[in-house]
């Protein structure tokens, strides 16, 4: 009875998609999840909550209308942590419900408990009430994700010195906040709280931030953050964090500077959640950050019947890519061919403002020695931008001078994470600058920025024999 074709540990995007894929292929599948409800970090503490918080903050503050009515404009004057949580709970409930329904519809079994290896084909599950269950699997998919890195020198108190999981449980909105870590999670939360009028300081030992993003986009983004008084203290390290007798916090930097604030968010890194899996019993070993290495095409670990997908295998650590990895891993695990996914996937940073990117950055194009041309459009050049009152927003495309093909698309501003998919499609379908120059876009839309940027690049690249180029690109 406890014998399965595939046992999946973790019900986040990778586990969920893998389990459903295997079930759809007629396999007997079990998902083990230690959390109270299915969904993983993505649903409970990561993607969905942070994006819901962002949407709520933008709506309640009237952020999107400030271009018209000025920076003092507010939809709701006093915004409380309760206001933010209310929408969060409704969204999360709905997400979990959809997931539970997907599992039951596809006959995926589901046990709540903590899994660990007995040997490469057997797992032990310890339930909350202490009950022990043993299951056997032909294949196992580890989709255990990550948990926040909590260094000893940070006195986390679950109230005002927090990691990114705990931030969602705050009961009062802070008036000032220090965010340690200028990675994607740190920057997203820093800008969301800044939109809520919290005075935010971001500290990071690295002199630059978001290094995988095109520099021109980061420069524009940084300008917008500084313009609204966010403090970016890059190239400076936090060496001590303390809770003061008056309830406030102090953060000491390596240059001796001390910053006082009401709340500290530590968002500098996450570790693979492999420490309780008893990996050695399966013949597996994680790296120093708790991550597992896999064959990037099959997601097979060094033990042939054990697969790993999602954040536990490292970069790019996105819900979107984790789902695809889980699906491929499950297909390979049950012996069904998995097609290689298209080369280019988008990266979305849901900061305020949004950033999204797909393909090569200008820095990467230069490094590879590819002759190129860029096309740029500012959202304020579009009629839609005027209607929306946008005074910022930038779309940049990079084209090869030789093949005229699109090499990369980079956007900062309203709707960036949606807009990027047009560029992604053209990239994966090997389209050229002519696609943007000759196509008609809905008017008025922000997508029209693609046309403007295409014309900008096209004008400098000169006219060509389009037929010849398209034939060549299709080869
Ligand atoms: C604040 C934040 C914002 C984010 N925003 C975005 C975004 O906007 N877009 C995006 O694409 N990605 C985003 N991400 C990343 C995204 O959440 C992850 O890429 C995604 O959740 C990874 O999915 P996963 O399936 O690998 O694992 P997870 O979602 O981490 O789920 C793993 C599950 O495994 C369970 N588990 C672990 N160990 C065991 C065990 N031994 N036994 C049983 N169960 C176990 C855990 O309880 C957990 O439920 C964000 C992450 C964070 C933290």
Q: How far apart are CA 460 and CA 272, in angstroms?
A: 47
pLDDT of residue 339: 85
The string of DSSP letters for 309-322 reads -GGGG-TT--HHHH
Site of tokens 């299951």 = 135
Mean pLDDT in residue range 337-354: 93
Residue 466 has pLDDT above 60, yes or no: no
Query: Are residues 260 and 232 in contact, defined by beta-carbon separation less than 8 angstroms?
Result: no
φ and ψ at residue 89, rounded to 5 degrees = -65, -40
Atom of ligand 1 nearest to the CA of 32: 43
pLDDT digits (tens, 9 = 90+) for 97-125: 999 999 999 999 999 999 999 999 999 99
Atom of ligand 1 nearest to the CA of 116: 41
Q: Is the peptide bond before 107 cis (omega within 30 degrees of 0)?
A: no
Ligand 1 atom with minimal separation from the 274 CA: 38
Q: How confident is the model at residue 72 (pLDDT cuts 50, 70, 90)?
A: confident
Q: Where are the chain's structural domains?
A: 2-148+271-334, 161-268, 353-470
What is the residue with the minimal CA distance to atom 48 of ligand 1?
40
**How far from the centroid of its chain's Cα atoms is residue 463's Cα?**
39
User: What DSSP string describes 221-270?
Assistant: HHHHHHHTT-EEEET--EEEEEE-TTS-EEEEETTS-EEEESEEEE-S-E
pLDDT, position 18: 98
Does 188 show up as a binding residue in the annotation? yes
Instruction: Give per-residue pLDDT as tens, 203-232.
Output: 999 999 999 999 999 999 999 999 999 999
Could you tell me the maximum CA-CA distance found in the chain, to the nearest angstrom? 73
Evaluate whether 145 touches 66 at the Cβ level (below 8 Å): no
State in Å: Cα 416 to ligand 1 middle.
23
CA of 47 to the centre of ligand 1 (A): 8
Q: Is 181 annotated as a binding residue?
A: yes
**Separation of 314 CA from ligand 1 center, angstroms?**
12
Question: According to the model, what pLDDT value does residue 309 have?
Answer: 98
**Distance in Å, CA 294 to ligand 1 centroid:** 18
Task: Report angle CA 43, 49, 54 to the nearest 5 degrees.
Answer: 150
Closest CA to 147 of 44, 285, 7: 44
Structure tokens at 245: 């007798």
What is the DSSP pairing of strand 132-142 with strand 146-148? unpaired
Q: Which residues are near ligand 1 (CB < 6 Å)?
A: 9-15, 32-35, 40-42, 46-47, 50-51, 114-115, 143-146, 164, 185, 273, 276-277, 310-312, 317-320, 322, 348, 350
Superfamily of domain 161-268: FAD/NAD(P)-binding domain (3.50.50.60)
Nearest to 352 by CA among 472, 189, 119, 116: 189
Q: How far apart are CA 470 and CA 431, in angstroms?
A: 8
Q: What's the whole-number average pLDDT of the chain?
A: 94
187 is annotated as contributing to ligand binding: yes
Which of 460, 455, 456, 210 is CA-nearest to residue 357? 210
| % of the chain beyond a pLDDT of 90 | 88
Average confidence (pLDDT) over 393-403: 97
pLDDT the model gives residue 1: 65
pLDDT interval class at 474 (50, 70, 90): low
Q: Is 185 annotated as a binding residue?
A: yes
CA distance 226 to 221: 9
Which residues make Cβ contacts (< 8 Å) with residue 226, sequence separation at least 6? Answer: 232
Give the residues across from 231 on adjacent strands: 201
- Residues 192 and 174: their CA atoms lie apart, in Å, by 12
Distance 196 CA to ligand 1 centre (A): 26
Percent helix, percent strand, percent coil in the chain, to nearest 5:
35, 25, 40
Instruction: Taking residues 350-374, report their average pLDDT.
Output: 98
Residue 434: per-residue pLDDT? 97
Q: What is the CATH number of domain 2-148+271-334?
A: 3.50.50.60
Query: Do strands 238-243 and 249-253 pair parallel, antiparallel, or not at all (unpaired)?
Result: antiparallel
Fold agreement between 2-148+271-334 and 161-268? yes
Axis-axis angle for helices 448-461, 416-428 (nearest 10): 50
Cα distance between residue 364 and residue 381, in whole Å? 28
Atom of ligand 1 nearest to the CA of 15: 25
Q: Which residue puts its alpha carbon closest to atom 52 of ligand 1?
A: 46
Distances (CA, A) of 406 to 344, 402, 421, 422, 431: 12, 11, 13, 11, 6
Q: What separation in Å is there between the alpha carbon of 357 and the centre of ligand 1? A: 21
The model's pLDDT over 175-192, given as tens digits with 9 standing for 90+, comes to: 999 999 999 999 999 999
Which residue, chain included where needed, has tokens 């860029």? 374
Whole-number Å distance, alpha carbon 351 to ligand 1 midpoint, is 19
Residue 5 contacts residue 303 (beta carbons within 8 Å): no
- Is residue 438 left, alpha or beta, with left meaning phi > 0 and alpha meaning psi from -120 to 50? alpha
**Is pLDDT at 75 greater than 90 in this prediction?**
no
Q: Which CATH superfamily is domain 353-470 in?
A: FAD/NAD-linked reductase, C-terminal dimerisation domain (3.30.390.30)
Q: Which atom of ligand 1 has the smallest separation from the CA of 189? A: 1
Q: Name the residue of 319, 329, 354 to mutate for ligand 1: max ligand atoms within 8 A of Cβ.
A: 319
Q: pTM higher than 0.85, yes or no?
A: yes
105 alpha carbon to ligand 1 midpoint, in Å? 23
93 labelled binding-site residue: no
Q: What is the mean pLDDT of residues 453-466?
A: 87
Please, are residues 317 and 290 in contact by the beta-carbon 8 Å criterion? no
In 77-184, the DSSP E strands lie at 109-112, 114-119, 122-126, 132-142, 146-148, 161-163, 176-180
Q: Are 177 and 261 in contact (CB under 8 A)?
A: yes
**Rg (Cα) of the chain, in Å, rounded?**
24
Position 469 scores a pLDDT of 54
């Amino acid at each position: 009875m406890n014998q399965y074709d595939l046992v999946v540990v973790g019900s986040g995007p990778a586990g969920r998609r893998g389990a459903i894929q295997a079930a759809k292929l007629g396999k007997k599948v079990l998902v083990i999840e230690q959390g109270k409800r299915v969904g993983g970090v993505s649903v409970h503490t990561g993607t969905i909550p942070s994006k819901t918080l962002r949407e709520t903050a933008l709506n309640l503050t009237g952020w999107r209308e400030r271009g018209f009515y000025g920076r003092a404009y507010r939809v709701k004057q006093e915004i409380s942590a309760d206001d933010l949580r209310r929408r969060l709970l409704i969204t999360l409930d709905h997400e979990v419900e959809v997931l539970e329904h997907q599992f039951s519809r596809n006959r995926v079994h589901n046990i709540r408990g903590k899994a660990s290896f007995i040997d490469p084909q057997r797992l032990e599950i310890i339930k909350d009430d202490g009950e022990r269950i043993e299951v056997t699997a032909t294949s196992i998919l580890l989709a255990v994700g990550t948990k926040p890195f909590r260094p000893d020198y940070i006195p986390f108190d679950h109230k005002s010195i927090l990691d990114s999981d705990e931030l969602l449980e705050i009961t009062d909105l802070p008036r000032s906040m220090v965010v340690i870590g200028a990675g994607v999670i740190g920057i997203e939360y820093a800008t969301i709280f800044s939109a809520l009028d919290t005075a935010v300081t971001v500290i990071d030992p690295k002199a630059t931030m978001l290094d995988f993003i095109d520099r021109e986009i980061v420069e524009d983004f940084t300008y917008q953050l500084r313009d609204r008084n966010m403090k970016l203290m890059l190239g400076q390290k936090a060496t001590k964090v303390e809770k003061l007798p008056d309830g406030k916090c102090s953060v000491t930097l390596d240059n001796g500077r001390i910053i006082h604030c009401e709340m500290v968010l530590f968002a500098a890194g996450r570790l693979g959640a492999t420490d309780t899996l008893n990996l050695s019993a399966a013949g597996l070993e994680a790296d120093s950050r708790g991550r597992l290495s896999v064959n990037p095409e099959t997601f097979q670990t060094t033990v042939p019947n054990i697969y790993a997908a999602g954040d536990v295998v490292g970069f790019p650590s996105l819900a979107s890519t984790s789902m695809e990895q889980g699906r491929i891993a499950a297909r390979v695990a049950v012996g069904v061919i998995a097609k290689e996914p298209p080369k280019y996937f988008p990266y979305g940073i849901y900061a305020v403002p949004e950033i999204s990117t797909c393909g090569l950055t200008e820095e990467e194009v230069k490094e590879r020695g590819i002759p190129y041309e860029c096309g740029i459009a500012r959202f304020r050049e579009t009629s839609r931008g005027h209607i929306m009152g946008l005074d910022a927003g930038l779309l940049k495309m990079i084209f090869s001078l030789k093949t005229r093909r699109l090499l990369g698309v980079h956007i900062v501003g309203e709707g960036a994470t949606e807009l990027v998919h047009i560029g992604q499609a053209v990239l994966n379908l090997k389209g050229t600058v002519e696609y943007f120059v000759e196509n008609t876009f809905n008017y008025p839309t922000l997508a029209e920025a693609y046309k403007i940027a295409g014309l900008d690049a096209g004008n400098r690249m000169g006219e060509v024999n389009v037929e010849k180029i398209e034939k060549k690109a299709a080869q």
